[in-house]
Structure 1
Amino acid sequence: MVAAACAPLPPAPSGMPAVPVAASIDVVARDWHTDVCLRSEDADAEVRRLASGFDDVRYLCFGFGDRSYVVRRKHDVVTMLLALVPGRGVVLLSALRAPPAAAFGAGNVVSLAVSQAGLEGLRAYLRNAVQRDGENGPVHLGDGPYEGGAYLPATAAYSLLYTCNTWTADALRHAGLPLAPVAVFADDIMMQVRRIAAEQAGAGLTPRRLPDGQ
């Protein structure tokens, strides 16, 4: 895997939803990896079904990785080199009972406002990101690295040109957020989403979320 690095980025276009804010999503930095999260109330039935088996879930976080490296936890040199060529991908689902800021640290989480169209775009992206079984249910590859996590087979292939952070950038674009074309490293993603969040705040837009506990 490649360590997170900060690359120069072109100015981001407007990050303001074109129509009134419908929901909040969170972008999480985990060292060189990024996730995108939404409240379970904002997920549709198909997206919530991905977290079947987890009780009292309030937030769903999704990330992407190389299946051999992540699921099998093979971190030898050969596996790391194979991760640089196209191979099977995996979606890491984190089903949270607490807000992402409480789970990952407030400094590692950025909240963004999205429109209804953006929310529906993100839902569609997540629905299509996971392979299904014959009954259209999610296929579980195993438990995640900590409680409340699960590995799901991804429809996308992992490679040097399509990494966990490229996948997150695609998810955010489907949510109607204007990420620049260069989005390879975690720092690339977080630099852009912080800029978008600042622009939204300057326009008086705040991420819409229910009070915690509801």
Structure 2
Amino acid sequence: MAAAACAPLPPAPSITPAIPAAAMIEVVVRDWHTDVCLRSEDADPSVRSLAGGFEDVRYLCFGFGDRSYVVRRNHGVVTMLLALVPGRGVVLLTALRAPPAEAFGAGNVVGLAVSRPGLDGLRDFLRDAVQRHADGSPVSLGAGPYEGGAYLSATAAYSLVYTCNTWTADALRHAGLPLAPLAVSADDIMVQVRRIATEQSDAGLALRRRVAG
């Protein structure tokens, strides 16, 4: 029994099973906020339509926030306290002509492979995240804080339990990536995202070695 107690445990199975990758998406951290980006060619027409009016778009980045705090730039104490209870949400779209690593810095961007079902799940999530007019066009709330950015009315409410980072985690789960149930801060997201990226990289190296051998 003592020998058995001291025996090493078998390695835990990978949380990122090997599946054919259909696309690469990227997760961006901006201080306490996170975004999810995908290439315009990997977005379906419904998602690409959210960037209507922007030309030569190569990447679409999406984030989430509290409408009063973000759009109106009202950062007073009352607004900050109101953000703790459910309120109207906003989707921040950033349309990029360059890769996210060039726009935000390579150290703030992590790339992840997703399967075909995962890519479809992410497209569905992004499509359903934005309120639309009767003609299908997105409900715009004005220009965003960056060049090539726009604020769009969100279908989800913002609250203490559903923030910009829990929204990002939700998007990544729809993309088939194994985010933990509790992911509140940008650090929570990025620690998990970097671990998944490392596992995917290691799995790719193992696959190449096996094929080469």
TM-score by length of 1: 0.88
Q: Deviations over 1:15-74 (max 9, x none)?
A: 245x31100000000000000000000000000000000000000000000000000000
Higher RCO structure, 1 or 2 (CA under 8 Å, sep 6+): 1
Q: Is the 8 A contact 2:14 2:199 kept in 1?
A: no
Kindly name which structure, 1 or 2, has the bigger radius of gyration based on alpha carbons. 2
Q: Cα distance, 1:182 vs. partner?
A: 1.3
Counterpart residue number, 2:82: 82
Q: Cα distance, 1:12 vs. partner?
A: 9.8
- For residues 109 and 92 of structure 1, what CA distance do their matches in structure 2 show? 17
Counterpart residue number, 1:14: 15
RMSD, aligned α-carbons: 1.3
Counterpart residue number, 1:95: 95
Q: Cα distance, 1:139 vs. partner?
A: 1.1
Identity of aligned residues (%): 78
Q: Is the 8 A contact 1:56 1:97 kept in 2?
A: yes
Q: Aligned with 1:50: secondary structure?
A: helix
5+ long unaligned stretches in structure 2: 1-11, 206-213
Q: Cα distance, 1:82 vs. partner?
A: 0.4
- For residues 179 and 93 of structure 1, what CA distance do their matches in structure 2 show? 22
Counterpart residue number, 1:115: 115
TM-score by length of 2: 0.89
Query: Of Structure 1 and Structure 2, which has the larger fraction of its residues in helix?
Result: 2
Letter in 2 for 1:201: S
Letter in 1 for 2:155: T
- For residues 119 and 146 of structure 1, what CA distance do their matches in structure 2 show? 26
Counterpart residue number, 2:150: 150
Superposition pairs for residues 22-171 of structure 1, below 5 Å?
A: 22-171=22-171
Q: Cα distance, 1:13 vs. partner?
A: 5.8
Rate the CA distance shift 1:171–1:12 in 2: closer, same or farther, 3 A. farther
Q: Is the 8 A contact 1:22 1:116 kept in 2?
A: yes
Counterpart residue number, 1:212: none
Q: Cα distance, 1:148 vs. partner?
A: 0.2
Q: Aligned with 1:21: secondary structure?
A: coil
Superposition pairs for residues 177-192 of structure 1, below 5 Å?
A: 177-192=177-192
Q: Is the 8 A contact 1:92 1:151 kept in 2?
A: yes
Letter in 2 for 1:50: L
4+ residue runs over 3 A deviation: none
Q: Deviations over 1:107-156 (max 9, x none)?
A: 00000000000000000000000000010111110000011000000000
